[in-house]
């Protein structure tokens, strides 16, 4: 089975009201929220690691918050990513392409053509209030946590207020250590 096929089989992708695209276990005990920009080369490097973390942690809920930090293409790609999340197979394919390299406007059109999304219905979806609200929510969180660059990772158990905040590109081991610590802390709280 191809990586993309395995990805489709293993991951459940849905949207939550707070503006994040959810991957992994939507009811997971530990949450990892990544705030990222599709145009950011560091964010692009992190995406395969996020997929590995999901594969390694069956209790991990990953929330992706695309935010437009770098340029106009960032805004377009963030809106497309959010809108694609309503079509599971389209989101997976879009991310597989968009997280490999920074797309320019002609590339974005080609990707939409390839995904069979360059149509009036999808364009309406891109400009929907839901997509606008999710983009605003991502930006609200960046202001709340004084985030001025991406990627940023928030790792927490039940409450985002009690999260570990990791800024910048991280190693797989570092992310796994924080996830393991959050799991250990959760077990300790349950036993007290």
One DSSP character per residue, 78-92 reads HHHHHHHTTSHHHHH
Q: CB–CB of 135/78 below 8 Å?
A: yes
pTM to 2 decimals?
A: 0.84
Rg (CA), the chain: 16
What is the per-residue pLDDT for 4?
A: 37
Consecutive 10-residue averages of pLDDT for the chain (192 residues): 34 42 91 94 96 96 92 93 85 91 92 93 92 88 87 82 84 96 75 58
What is the per-residue pLDDT for 39?
A: 96
What whole-number distance in Å separates Cα of residue 84 and Cα of residue 28? 23
Check whether the bond before 151 is cis (ω within 30° of 0).
yes
What is the per-residue pLDDT for 14?
A: 35
Q: How many residues does the chain have?
A: 192
Tell me: domain 3-191, CATH 3.40.30.10, correct? yes
pLDDT tens-digit profile of 140-164?
Answer: 888 887 889 999 998 988 765 567 8
**Strands 14-15, 21-24: pairing kind:** antiparallel
Domain locations in the chain as residue ranges: 3-191
The angle formed by the CA atoms of residues 184, 189 and 192, to the nearest 5 degrees, is 125
Q: CB–CB of 29/186 below 8 Å?
A: yes
């Amino acid at each position: 089975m191809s990586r993309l096929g395995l990805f489709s089989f293993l991951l459940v992708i849905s949207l939550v009201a707070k503006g994040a695209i959810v991957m992994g276990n939507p009811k997971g005990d530990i949450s990892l929220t990544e705030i990222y920009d599709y145009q950011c080369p560091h964010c692009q490097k992190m995406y395969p690691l996020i997929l590995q973390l999901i594969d390694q942690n069956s209790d991990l809920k990953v929330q992706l918050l695309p935010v437009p930090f770098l340029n106009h293409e960032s805004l377009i790609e963030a809106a497309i990513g959010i809108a694609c999340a309503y079509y599971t197979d389209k989101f997976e394919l879009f991310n597989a392409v968009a997280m490999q390299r920074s797309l320019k406007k002609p590339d974005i059109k080609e990707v939409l053509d390839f995904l069979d999304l360059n149509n009036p219905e999808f364009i309406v979806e891109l400009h929907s209030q839901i997509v606008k609200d999710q983009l605003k929510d991502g930006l609200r969180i960046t202001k709340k946590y004084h985030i001025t660059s991406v990627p940023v990772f928030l790792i927490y158990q039940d409450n985002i207020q009690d999260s570990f905040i990791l800024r910048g590109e991280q190693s797989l081991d570092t992310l796994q250590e924080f996830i393991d610590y959050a799991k250990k802390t959760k077990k300790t709280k349950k036993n007290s």
